[in-house]
Amino acid sequence: MKELKGLLQVKKLIALLLTIVFCALSFKGQVTAEQFLTVFSLVIAFYFGQSTARQAKNE
């Protein structure tokens, strides 16, 4: 139950939904590979950057 609660945090939910939407658009051919890579890289970098900063602050 705790893992499910963690997945439903707003930032994680937005990152997950954005990834799913861009994957779907990419498969349909409505988004180029370059556009997909740019957006996906930004989302992943932001998410992991926040996680790393939070961990460093707690240590």
- Each residue's pLDDT tens digit, 16-28: 888 888 888 888 9
Angle, alpha carbons 52-42-49 (nearest 5°)? 5
pLDDT digits 0-9 by tens, 1-59: 666 666 567 777 877 888 888 888 888 989 888 888 888 888 788 877 877 777 777 76
pTM, to two decimals: 0.55
Decide: 22 and 40 in contact? Cβ < 8 Å: yes
Please give the tally of structural domains in the chain: 1
**What residues contact 31, with CB distance under 8 A and at least 6 apart?**
22, 25
CA distance 25 to 22: 5
Residue 17 belongs to domain spanning = 1-56
Question: What pLDDT shows up at residue 7?
Answer: 59
Give which of 50, 56, 47 is closest to 18, Cα–Cα: 47
